[in-house]
Chains A and B, each alone.
Chain A
Amino acid sequence: QVQLQESGPGLVKPSETLSLTCTVSGGSISSDSSYWSWIRQPAGKGLEWIGRIYTSGGTFYKTSLKSRLTMSIDTSKNQLSLKLSSVIAADTAVYYCARGMVHAIDAFDVWGRGSLVTVSS
């Protein structure tokens, strides 16, 4: 059974770059789905889709974050990565990686437990 685990620093200073890794276990990142997404959730608030990356390496980002966002995939390590530059307090959230469901459009059937990132000096 595929499992996802996010990891990275829990505290990032304003204007710096937030970096997270999502490790896929129990399956292959390149064959268990055609795309993977990052989704975040500020404390007490709703979910916000950030972007998706295809196993081919192609990406599609949320328009408002596009200029600050970089997603990548490392099939040899079975990992995804997320980098968000020039962070501000509003980027404080729990960040989830999620698998795009096979044979379905835009549905996320496996989620990581989430990684809390706080932006503060």
Chain B
Amino acid sequence: QSALTQPASVSGSPGQSITISCTGTSSDIGRYNYVSWYQQHPGKAPKLLIYEVFSRPSGVSNRFSGSKSGNTASLTISGLQADDESDYYCSSYASSGTFFGGGTKLTVL
């Protein structure tokens, strides 16, 4: 089983919305609703943004939302802010373990 596929980079202007995709297979994203999203600033540990496809942990802004269709999950960030500039990773449960995406660098223009 391989890592999940994410675009290497996305960009957007302050106030805009962006979506990051995460493509897996019928063995991971397509089979289970156990997709998580993490934000990682340089030199810092990842921070959980979304779990179980669309749920947000307490304290995470509702500007972050998750969804899934078939083998692809998506993270949408609305009302982009400068501090959203970061790396974002998806992950999915599979019977053979947990798999992360390669990461997407978000640039806020």
Residues on A facing B (Cβ under 8 Å): 37, 39, 46-49, 51-52, 60-63, 96, 101, 104-109, 111-114
Contacts and interface: CB of A to CB of B under 8 A. Distances in A.
A47 B48 contact: no
A49 B34 contact: no
Contact of B100 (A46, A61, A111): A46
Given A49-B100, A63-B1, 14 more contacts: A37-B98, A46-B102, A46-B103, A47-B100, A48-B100, A49-B97, A49-B98, A101-B48, A101-B57, A105-B52, A106-B91, A108-B38, A109-B51, A111-B45
Contacts, number: 65
Contact of A105 (B93, B96, B97, B100): B93
Interface string B3-44: 100000000000000000000000000001010101010000
A107 B52 contact: yes
Q: 5 closest A-B pairs (Cβ-Cβ)?
A: A107-B51, A106-B93, A111-B45, A49-B98, A47-B100
6 contacts: A49-B99, A62-B97, A101-B57, A107-B52, A108-B36, A111-B45
A51 B98 CA distance: 8
Nearest to B55: A104
Nearest to A62: B97
Where chain B touches its partner, the secondary structure class is strand
B64 interface: no
A121 to B, nearest CB: 27
B36 A106 contact: yes
A113 B46 CA distance: 9
A58 to B, nearest CB: 14
Contacts of A109: 48, 51, 57
Interface string B82-101: 00000001011100111111
